[in-house]
Structure 1
């Protein structure tokens, strides 16, 4: 390379921009949202070739000295992309616990080999859906561990004589989860949805709510109804399988969404954090999740 080329204004400008992007990545611990979106859009993913969600997870072992533990790498060394998801065999709780030895009581996990760059809480509204729950736990725990996240899973269970109110239960989950940790991200998750790609990062956007399941129909959440801007995960990455035991699980349309139990469109203004009223009945640490049982009062059904 000649000296004149190095000193040219165009080349120096390019070098400055490149260094600025590199420093931003190191400073934030991950690509910025714009840069991450660019990477996602360019990645070629072949869903005809999938991998087991537990592939190479055993490589994450306890660090010999926790005091000198390094930060986790920006790019997980065991990412594989598309995952093999099947609901043919219902896994037992014992099996799920055995396959996730580093998950602590309450569904709490911290990478054993490095310091996590992100802390995410997974909030799941729940009402007597044991089969869905076991499938979700079987896949979601290794999925999150593959991303080297520090995380915890919260199950918010409704009791009482009211109709199932997902929005209010998730608001309860937000309030209860924040008692445990100053989470970087709070993810509202359906019990019957399983992510199909480990590049679908369970971290939040810096400025706006993030819609993870961008490749399927979803509920009309309050963030959409309120006119707020949301960020959508690339359709290549935001693919989810839907569990439906009313049909054959493996032959269902993977993008079809079950009908909601509660009419969120009519009640979102009354289900917010400011007007939240509920009775906390119990809070118990299960080996795979924290179970929060609440009575949100009577909620009349809508036609």
Structure 2
């Protein structure tokens, strides 16, 4: 009897789909592509009036000495006004770059910065995106009144792109300059809100939780890619990122699980302080072994990362807007 009922149901379902396939397809498209709540738009975040209390005030030793006794910069207005920056002329023109030091370093001259940040950008064969990023990010960051330096880590060889390994390499060079805070940054993401301070919080922070590609919704609560900030000592404590993920995908989920394994939670700012736009680009080929590496990641956290990093330095060059590290993976 039950078997007959199942058969009847299946026959009727097939008949319905054949007769109403267009309406059904439109409905599914609406649910997947249009419905604004299809993702996880609600998530715990640091309220704007609490952001300053969550920031870690720490600079490199040379900045601490250079600005000793000077009045500290005020960040209240930067956060509260939260100026929308992704517009002309900030997008297309580098505004008065004379104060940017060789290697892509900048610090305010009128007040003592409370924060020093190394922005690590991983990259290969996206010249137009890199040019657009460097122009905009310098216009953006100088308005935040922080001390920062841009490191561009380029994969020189033609092996599948290894994003995570390049971040590990970036850690090595940023550490040489004693930066206490790291921003791990994809070259195709542009911050839109000035109140999204490029500094470290008490917990590692997922900075791009409101991305236009996903209609400014958080895709899933464990997402920890695109742009993240983390204390240098925390990055070292968790052994950095895996060196195994060659090709697109998986490395940021593995990164998140490393933090969870060490019982380290992440945080976010609210959507109005976390908006990013993504530049158009061709996606890298998927990592063939990403599922397998994710499934056994816990077995490798202590042996696969900074302590197993192997690469060859092809060249290190100081450009006007960035420190360029050319690496063979």
Partner Cα distance (1:108, 1:264) in 2: 36
Helix, strand or coil for the counterpart of 2:210?
coil
Helix, strand or coil for the counterpart of 1:292?
strand
209, 212, 218: which one aligns with 1:214: 209
Partner Cα distance (2:118, 2:98) in 1: 19
Question: Equivalent residues in 2 for 1:48-127 (5 A)?
Answer: 69-76=70-77, 80-85=81-86, 91=92, 95-96=93-94, 99-127=96-124
Q: Whose Rg is larger?
A: 2
Give the C-alpha shift of residue 209 in structure 1: 1.5
Range 163-172 or range 77-86, more displaced: 77-86
- Residue 175 to residue 229, structure 1, CA distance change in 2 (3 Å): same
1:249 alignment partner in structure 2: none
Mark the runs of 5 or more structure 1 residues left unpaired by the alignment.
1-35, 43-64, 247-257, 297-303
1:174 aligns with 2:193: no
Give the C-alpha shift of residue 68 in structure 1: 5.8
1:139 alignment partner in structure 2: 136
Mark the runs of 5 or more structure 2 residues left unpaired by the alignment.
1-44, 52-65, 212-218, 226-249
Residues 79 and 147, structure 1, Cα contact 8 Å, conserved in 2 = no
Partner Cα distance (2:67, 2:265) in 1: 41
Helix, strand or coil for the counterpart of 1:37?
coil
Partner Cα distance (1:115, 1:89) in 2: 24
Deviation beyond 6 Å, 4+ runs, structure 1 = 87-90
User: TM-score, normalised to structure 2's length?
Assistant: 0.60
Aligned-residue CA RMSD (Å): 3.1
- Residue 287 to residue 143, structure 1, CA distance change in 2 (3 Å): same
Question: Equivalent residues in 2 for 1:211-290 (5 A)?
Answer: 211-216=206-211, 217=219, 219=225, 220=250, 221=252, 222-226=254-258, 227=260, 228-245=264-281, 262=287, 266=293, 269=300, 272-290=305-323
